């Protein structure tokens, strides 16, 4: 059964965050709130966690997983950015965008698109998410919590606990959560391509 943790939306309790870190470090899979719906997350390099996400969401091997990162300055270790891409991403973060970019060698191959060698990255604007990332000290491998038999992403912690009680190790709930998935923009080519229109304004990339 998944453990359920409720934290304050403005000041998440450090003790609870430490328990989440322990679960992640031990190879666990969690659900946590962001500014764009709930996400499934596991530690970087957790192959079994990635396979669990694939199973829950029924994803193929061409799905772009996302590295959720707390600060723009950390992106350079994981993705390649030309000057124009650097400026575009910096102007749009933090916020409800996921950017697809060429991955560096720091990104495990199991996370990358098998042919394009790309990866999704995002910097959320959500206090609980950022506090969790700071506590973990590294990015989380994530995917929007959108179940194959549900038309909309999940946005309530208790609902997730009930539906996925035997699939997850923990659910983190802070009572506040975005209702719309991120806008996904592919910046791995010569021109931006808006792959999905979501919470972020696609205008700057069209």
User: In the numeric block, which tokens belong to residue 197?
Assistant: 């229109």
Mean pLDDT to the nearest integer, 138-143: 96
200 to 25, 60, 99, 177, 189: CA distances (angstroms): 31, 25, 11, 15, 20
Q: Which of 26, 126, 4 is nearest to 68 (CA)?
A: 126
- Residues making up the chain, counted from first to last: 206
Q: Which of 35, 19, 46 is nearest to 136 (CA)?
A: 19
Instruction: Please state the pTM of the whole predicted model.
Output: 0.94
168 to 23, 26, 57: CA distances (angstroms): 11, 13, 13
User: In the numeric block, which tokens belong to residue 23?
Assistant: 């679960």
- The per-residue pLDDT for 191 is 93
Residue pLDDT, tens place only, 170-192: 999 999 898 899 999 999 999 99
How crowded is residue 27: how many other Cβ atoms within 10 Å of its Cβ? 15
- The per-residue pLDDT for 143 is 94
pLDDT at 165 over 90: yes
Domains of the chain (ranges, CATH numbers): 3-196 (3.90.870.10)
- On whether the CB atoms of residues 190 and 102 are closer than 8 A, the answer is no
């Amino acid at each position: 059964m998944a453990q359920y943790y409720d934290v304050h939306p403005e000041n998440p309790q450090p003790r609870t965050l430490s328990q989440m870190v322990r679960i992640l470090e031990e190879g666990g899979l969690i659900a946590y709130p962001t500014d764009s719906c709930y996400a499934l997350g596991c530690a970087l390099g957790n192959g079994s966690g990635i396979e669990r996400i694939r199973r829950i969401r029924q994803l193929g091997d061409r799905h772009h997983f996302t590295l959720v990162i707390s600060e723009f300055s950390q992106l350079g270790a994981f993705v390649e950015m030309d000057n124009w891409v650097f400026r575009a991403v910096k102007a749009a973060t933090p916020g409800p965008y996921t950017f697809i970019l060429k991955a560096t060698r720091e990104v495990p191959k199991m996370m990358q698109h098998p042919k394009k060698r790309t990866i999704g990255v995002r910097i959320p604007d959500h206090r609980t998410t950022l506090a969790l990332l700071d506590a973990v000290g590294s990015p989380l491998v994530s995917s929007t919590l959108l179940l194959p038999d549900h038309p909309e992403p999940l946005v309530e912690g208790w609902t997730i606990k009930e539906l996925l009680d035997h699939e997850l190790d923990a659910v983190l709930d802070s009572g506040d959560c975005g209702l719309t998935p991120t806008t996904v923009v592919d910046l791995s080519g010569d021109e931006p391509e808006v792959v999905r229109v979501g919470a972020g304004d696609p205008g700057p990339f069209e």
